[in-house]
A = this chain, B = another copy of it.
Amino acid sequence: MTKIFDAPEEFAATALAGFAALHPHFVRLIKGGVVRSTSVPKGKVSVVVGGGSGHYPAFAGYVGPGFVDAAVAGDVFASPSTAAVARVCRKAHHGGGILLSFGNYAGDVLNFGVAAERLRAEGIDVRIVAVTDDVASAPAETVSKRRGVAGDLVVFKIAGAAAEAGLPLDEVERIARHANARTVSFGVAFDGCTLPGSAGPLFTVPNGKMALGLGIHGEPGISEEAIVSASELATLLTEKLLPERPKDTRKVGVILNGLGATKYEELFVLWSSIAGRLQQAGLEIVAPEAGEFVTSLDMQGCSLTLVFLDDELEQHWIAPCSSPVLRRGATIPTTPAIDNLADEDMLTTYPPADGGGQRGGACIIRIFSETSLVLHEAEEQLGRIDAYAGDGDHGQGMARGVTAALEAAKAASAAKAGTASVLAAAADAWADRAGGTSGAIWGLLLRSWSTALSDNGPIDDRAVVAGARQALDGVVRLGGAKIGDKTLVDVFSPFVDTLEKSFAESGSLSTAWRQAASAAKLAAEATAQLLPKLGRARPLAEKSLGHPDPGAVSFAMIATRVATLLR
């Protein structure tokens, strides 16, 4: 279990800082991540990767010439915030556009997706490739639902080599997708890992057993079986992957990955058997690696990753690279980067706003003041509801988010910003400071809503109603949740439906909002009968049956309180 830490909540950030201090020839530390410390040719496509912490060398250990340009690091096993992704991308952009890649998890899809939209709005061409190599997590027919595990390394390496070769963004994206389509992994776990500060492991595997297909955060696997010998394990792993081999493939790149407490010599013993199996299958093994490449703190277990190579993929798989964790071929000549990474002046300027727009901004502040009160009052209650299925941190996250949003709204208003800009500033601050999936969702929700509003003139009731629909659309599109998945969408959707219907009938925003808030409250209670489908579907999720979703409850609370302001 994790034994070395100071404050558990600072573990990920302190680890990243320590890593950066040890590897100044490769990386520079910025808020939320690291970027290359060596100069990058102007116009080169930037490959930016990331995800939760606790997986070192994923992701910071991949930064270097021939590999990736920057890595964003979230908290332990938690997606980085939208703002962190966007901030790291801005520092890592060299004019050639950005390939953003990460393992396929709901929180990452959301935060990287929203960040990409924000960056595109700033004129940066951003493409997204979510890695889906874990064959245990979904069948081949629904490959897009598969999780990303150690195949991350393969896709990042190949994309990084394509970018280093000077290929344009279209090509780098195509090659990364091609690599992902031909990369498969399967893993077994012997025992769970312990989060910093936790008294016990995140999950356990019974003594003498191994869990097949278990995810790297303890997501459920396929089955538990008795531990087998190394040579039988080699057979098991290869037999799970070889059926996915594209026809006529003759060559294969391989990663045999240790999850943390399964050690090198065990991997080498296993490798001897795996190499034999692959050769028996008529495959030539190209540049195999066995070691620790995507860990899960001190989890016991390993995974096998195969990338079925064609000539193009092979070329990029074996291309030179240099990074803290992987070095291939000859040294790539580099010079220290000299660009300035200091954070931009935080006194953001806003579009000019007239008196009506500035009064609208003040109105937004009042809404966040009330929302802050209700969320701080409910912090403990929301935490309790969340603890049935999750980390119990929903109340804290919402309180942190709204506090940051209120401060940002006040700062924007003080800088004479109008309604839309004040709301957008609040949205970004919420996403950046709340953390987790709910922070990203609320940032996205508020930012989408703001785009329907204006910085000039008094607040238009029609625009508020239209904004609600835009916000819902944004959350559904990027968040990926549908009605019935036991999320905020189960509440936000009837809210918007009722708001639109009642506003069309009554013409009164206050009447419509009150009715919509009532609908939201009912819908929130109804989520108690649902089982969650989104996010890290931990075994614990079943415990949430009979309890409402905390995100749905907090939405209904906010909607109800805001209704009192609209009278």
Contacts and interface: CB of A to CB of B under 8 A. Distances in A.
B260 A6 contact: no
A271 B21 CA distance: 9
Given A227-B3, A267-B4, A331-B330, A22 B261 contact: no
A203 to B, nearest CB: 16
Interface string A553-566: 00000000000000
A272 B327 CA distance: 25
Given A4-B302, A230-B4, A289-B22, A15 B56 contact: no
Interface residue range, chain A: 35 or more
A537 interface: no
Interface in A1-32: 1-6, 11-12, 14-19, 21-22
A4 B271 contact: no
A297 interface: yes
B18 A54 contact: no
A22 B230 contact: no
Interface string A255-269: 000001111111111
B18 A262 contact: no
A289 B18 CA distance: 11
Contact of A297 (B15, B53, B263): B263
B298 A230 contact: no
Contacts of A270: 4, 18
Contacts of A19: 264-265, 268
A264 B295 contact: yes
A415 to B, nearest CB: 36
Contacts of A295: 263-264
A271 B22 contact: yes
A12 B266 CA distance: 9
Q: Secondary structure at chain A's binding surface: helix, strand, loop or mixed?
A: mixed
B2 A272 contact: no
A300 interface: yes
Contacts of A14: 230, 268-269, 272
Given A22-B290, A271-B21, A327-B327, A57 B4 contact: no
Nearest to A3: B190
A275 interface: yes
A190 to B, nearest CB: 5
Nearest to A231: B6
A177 to B, nearest CB: 29
A155 to B, nearest CB: 21
A262 B327 CA distance: 24
A463 interface: no
Contact of A18 (B210, B233, B269, B327): B269
Given A269-B14, A270-B18, A331-B331, A3 B264 contact: no
A288 interface: yes
Interface string A361-396: 000000000000000000000000000000000000
A231 B54 CA distance: 19
A5 B267 CA distance: 9
